[in-house]
Chains A and B, each alone.
Chain A
Amino acid sequence: MDQKSFLSEATAQLTALVESGTLRGWSLNATASRSHQRLFASPEGTALACHQSRRVEGEDCKLSVYSPGEDANHVGTAFIDLMPFRPIAEQLEEALELSRGSQNQAWTLAGPPAIPPAPVETCDPQLRDNPEAVMEDIENQFTQAFARANGCRLNSAELFVNYSISALTSSEGLAYEVEQSDVYLEAAMEKAGNENDKEVHEHDTSVAAADLDIADFVERCALQVAVLGDSEEPETSGSASILIGKDALSQMLEAVVMQLNCSNEYLKLPFLQPGDRFGGGEGDALQLQLDPTIPCMALSAAYAIDGMPARAGALIENNKVVDRIVGNRFGQYLGLEPNGLSGNLVVEAGTLTPDALQGTEYVEVIKFSSLLIDSQKLTWSSEIKLGRHIAADGSVTLIKGGVVSGNLKENFTGCRLSSTLGNVSSPPSSYSPALGYRGPDAMLITRGVSMAGQTKGENA
């Protein structure tokens, strides 16, 4: 049975179960996906040599079922992967049985909106229609850009071009499709002609091929390679100033946004609500919005995850929480009006410029080893993979090792945000959810940061 016939049969059986009162509702998300993957070595250190090439094609179907609960205030819930090689009726019976064992406070599933949301650009037609040509083009661009990267030796690279199309349907009449694409480019390089103990390992992602600026990516890597050299561990300090980039900043704000989701209140986890203050002080004020409509960004979508039309809106203005994410299910639980707020994190630029950093002592963290952020405690910690200590007189020392840790509520107090903006657009992976960010390129943190490394006068 092909996927279309399979879905049609599954939908018919699910509808019959609702009509008979056996089920209260269901939703089905069927996805077809394709991926082209190439891994490269570089034996001479100058060119790409593919050592693994893959084509992947797949289909999957995720089903949520909601069965009558043990009383009118409850609903049974279960989620299963529907497999085309097993009888549908048998799988639905199993899902029903599971749902009866998982009782939740009842809620009403989202139905189709009176006015369908405007379409949002989430896919590059080139990646859908000509993935192999796009791969070739990226490889060529990379090769040309790397030829201009003087003093660099290439160790490895990876290139993935992905496309998927999903169809979501539900018992409430919701029916829409989502097409998604993304490109992943990774490279590892180091100083040419040296026996090195450091390499630069970076990656870039985008929804559209045109948004992947390969020349800029290689140039950024090469600039990092150029500064590699002898390094020291940072000095131990209970109160340090650090400069971080857009990747770390976007991840920190992603943790804050988790506390701005009303689901945390219902689940009795720490949460922020309108009226609360987050950070502040004499630095740049935090202005944080969500926007699902930016074309070709990782969190752009016409519909929010629970089937509500996705909507843009402010969450934090001048460090004060003005709204929060109220989803369909948890909004009903808490007696709040669901608002569909979702999408990419958008942060206003601040006032920090390179000139403003003159005379300031700080550590610029170029790369964290593994930035682990606790979204409950809003704390974080990581080894420094690569950084620079900039003294007040402007002298620079390369930093590697040591541990830097922080507390986000303190970090956003008296902080400075860069006047220039950048984007982060990371598709979801088995490791992390999708992250879309448009905001300051950098943030200077002067509070709530500790550094563990060498102690003055001690030979580490």
Chain B
Amino acid sequence: MNTIPYPLKDELAAFFPMLGKLVQTLEAGVKKRLYAFATLEDLDQFQSNVSRTETSSITADRGLVLRILAGHRNFEYATNCFDEAVLLKEAETLRKEALAYLDQQTAPAVYTPLGWSEEPLDAFAEPVRAQILSGGSLPTAQTPVHFGSAYDPSMSESLSKTETTQRSRALKEAIEKAGGDQLASAGTMIRRKVKSRLFVDRTRMMSQSLFSSLYYLYAVTPSGKTVRDIVGGMAGAEAAISIDDAVVAKLVETAVKLENAPHIQPGRYRIISGPDVTGVIAHEAFGHTQEGDTCRLGRSCAPGLRKKGTLVGNEQASIINNAGVFSMGKTPYGVNGTHFFDDEGFIARPQVILDKGVLSSPMNDLISSLVGDINGPAARQSNGKRESWKRPLMPRQTNTYFTAGDKTLDELAELCGDGFIAEHAHGGMEDPKGMGLTAGTEYLEEVKGGKRTGNLFLGPQGGHVELSDPVPRLLQSIIAKSTIEADGTPDQGEPHNKWGGCGKYHKEGVEAGCGGPWILWEGITCG
């Protein structure tokens, strides 16, 4: 594949001067008292849905956020009005508001941003470093730096709405044809998205364009059993190269098996989780629990456990959060939790959030890094994210995954003996204070005598299956992990992360990949 970075539209680049002017207004004469930035986000998304009805849609959105950090409080004004005079007036109002607050504080903290020369370039993934240095030297505060996710321009479907719609229809028809009377309905959804962001503060002027594709195929049986296949990545149509007749046949075969699948008895079982379910466990296990705001607000058990040096998992329990995932095993692209910089302009870098059962400092946004938790302030990470310009920013996960092990999937099955495989995720939730965890799976596949039988099981009442345990118990129960591809080939890139989304408790949806290897667990409560 010959890929190129997705470019920034000229129309968007034209906003840089105005953003610069807004930052100057926000900080005018008070740079030593407060810190400000301006950011503009732009969404350009095409989606084709085909089932018994057909829908083509374009979702477009563009909004701007002005931010002042004054002491330990963020002040923001957000709008999709781009009239410069109106915005300059709003910037003045925001500045006055922040200064009025600062006047009431005793010795408020002041944040000074890092310049390009202070960035740890060697810690960045190659696509990040290369684009920072694309001009041949370190940029200055006035040099626009653009980061574009890679895509293969030779795949015409990537940029053609007509071809995308035709592909969507063809896939739906293929599922219907393969399923015949055994299915009640079938459908597909293909989404192509370009999410761009401009960021300006006193030290830098940068932009990123993230081009992603999502293919969602489903089959529904007469009794409503729905089987899905979700394939996506930070790429164009190359993300769907793996979707072929065999994938469609497997989808239909699974649906037909599930139509009359037996139900498991509620209880504890030995489980092998596939990368999708492994990822949800990583995300829920010490993902949310390690989010900086949850820690500093006293809503997470993690700071207390870290302070005491408590081991919360065995030596196989290592989890990474990393926005800079640009390849996964043999797959030459990342997933939808990937970015070059976060919504506060902080460059992506990996963070080991759990190292062989030992907790690290939290995933911090700017304010959480300054305020800190009971262990004090800690390093800032690239985790400041928001649902959109309309919503508040919080520390959020990017791509969260378990590190790889050394087994093949066949070896894990053999070690498992009798148990089940949980491959396709169905939601999840964590209780950061209480360390409860639940990860759903669509169904379970039986493993008997160390071999996969192909027999599928639904939950006790005929629905999906929830896998749930207290987090420390779960993380102490990892028996073995697979290599990245789980087939004996040497590891390369990061472990596979799956396309995903995440809510903070019950709201604030953001994109978040999650993954890891296949993992054999000693026992998990299933219901």
Contact = CB atoms under 8 A, between A and B. Distances in A.
A73 to B, nearest CB: 14
Given A54-B78, A385-B436, A405-B461, A452 B505 contact: no
Contacts of B304: 195
Counting chain B CB atoms within 10 Å of each CB, the highest count among A94, A103, A270, A448 belongs to: A270
A420 interface: no
Interface stretch (A33-41, A133-141, A299-307, A340-348): A33-41
Interface stretch (B52-60, B232-240, B349-357): B52-60
Interface stretch (B193-201, B220-228, B309-317, B336-344): B220-228
A19 B59 CA distance: 27
B391 to A, nearest CB: 8
B82 A85 contact: yes
Interface string B81-110: 110000000000000000000000000000
A383 B466 contact: yes
A59 B77 CA distance: 15
B299 A431 contact: no
B414 to A, nearest CB: 26
A19 B440 CA distance: 53
Interface in A53-92: 53-60, 77-81, 83, 85
B281 to A, nearest CB: 13
Interface string A287-302: 0000000000000000
B509 interface: yes
Given A81-B58, A81-B61, A269-B224, A383 B161 contact: no
A41 B436 contact: no
A79 B48 CA distance: 11
Contact of A403 (B265, B507, B527): B527
A199 interface: yes
A201 B438 contact: no
A403 B526 contact: yes
B267 A401 contact: no
Nearest to B526: A452
B79 A80 contact: no
A7 interface: no
Interface string B424-446: 00111101011111101000000
A85 to B, nearest CB: 7
A79 B57 contact: yes
B438 A377 contact: no
Contacts of A377: 223-226, 462-463
A99 to B, nearest CB: 7
Contacts of A45: 298
B466 A382 contact: yes
A338 interface: no
Counting chain A CB atoms within 10 Å of each CB, the highest count among B54, B225, B438 belongs to: B438
Interface in B351-387: 367, 371, 387
Contacts of B267: 236, 452, 455
A407 interface: yes
Contact of A103 (B54, B299, B438, B463): B54
A78 B56 contact: yes
Interface stretch (A166-174, A214-222, A368-376): A368-376
B220 to A, nearest CB: 6
A81 B463 CA distance: 37
Given A59-B81, A268-B185, A54 B427 contact: no
Interface string B382-419: 00000101111100000000000000000000000000
B56 A101 contact: yes
Given A199-B299, A385-B434, A370 B427 contact: yes
Contacts of B52: 266-268
Interface string A167-195: 00000000000000000000010100001
A365 B388 CA distance: 34
A376 B299 contact: no
Contacts of B469: 401
B17 interface: no
A360 interface: no
Contacts of B127: none
B438 A383 contact: yes
A451 B464 CA distance: 14
B297 A188 contact: yes
A362 interface: no
Interface stretch (B68-76, B151-159, B480-488): B68-76
A206 interface: no
B144 interface: no
A102 B48 contact: yes
A81 B60 contact: yes
A196 B298 CA distance: 10
A400 B436 CA distance: 8
A56 B79 contact: yes
A396 to B, nearest CB: 19
A52 interface: yes
B62 interface: yes
Contacts of A58: 63, 78-80, 390
B514 to A, nearest CB: 16
Contacts of B526: 403, 452
Nearest to A45: B298
Contacts of B278: none
A268 B462 CA distance: 20
A381 interface: yes
A376 B55 contact: no
A238 B508 CA distance: 36
A198 B299 CA distance: 9
Contact of B72 (A51, A237, A401, A431): A51
A6 interface: no
Interface string B264-307: 01111000000000000000000000000000111101001000
B220 A199 contact: no
Nearest to B510: A430
Counting chain B CB atoms within 10 Å of each CB, the highest count among A41, A59, A102, A104 belongs to: A102
A305 to B, nearest CB: 15
A153 B463 CA distance: 38
B367 A372 contact: no
B51 interface: yes
Contacts of B56: 77-79, 98-99, 101-102
Contacts of A41: 296-297
A450 interface: yes
B349 to A, nearest CB: 24
A197 interface: yes
Contact of A407 (B225, B461, B506): B461
A413 interface: no
A379 interface: yes
B460 interface: yes
A50 interface: yes
B468 A401 contact: yes
Interface in B244-268: 265-268
A397 to B, nearest CB: 16
Contacts of A196: 433
B509 A188 contact: no
B480 to A, nearest CB: 23
A287 B147 CA distance: 58
Given A56-B79, A57-B79, A269-B184, 8 more contacts: A39-B392, A98-B56, A199-B434, A403-B266, A403-B526, A405-B461, A430-B507, A448-B461
26 contacts: A52-B73, A53-B73, A54-B75, A57-B78, A58-B80, A79-B57, A95-B58, A98-B57, A98-B161, A102-B56, A105-B53, A195-B304, A196-B433, A201-B299, A267-B52, A268-B184, A270-B223, A370-B428, A376-B225, A379-B463, A380-B463, A383-B429, A403-B525, A404-B527, A452-B525, A453-B527
Shortest Cβ-Cβ A-B pairs, 9 listed: A379-B463, A403-B527, A452-B527, A376-B224, A370-B429, A452-B266, A383-B438, A450-B460, A102-B54
Interface of A: 35, 37, 39, 41-42, 45, 50-60, 77-81, 83, 85, 94-95, 97-99, 101-105, 153, 155-156, 188, 190, 195-199, 201, 203, 233, 236-238, 266-270, 369-370, 372, 374, 376-383, 385, 400-407, 410, 429-431, 448-453, 455
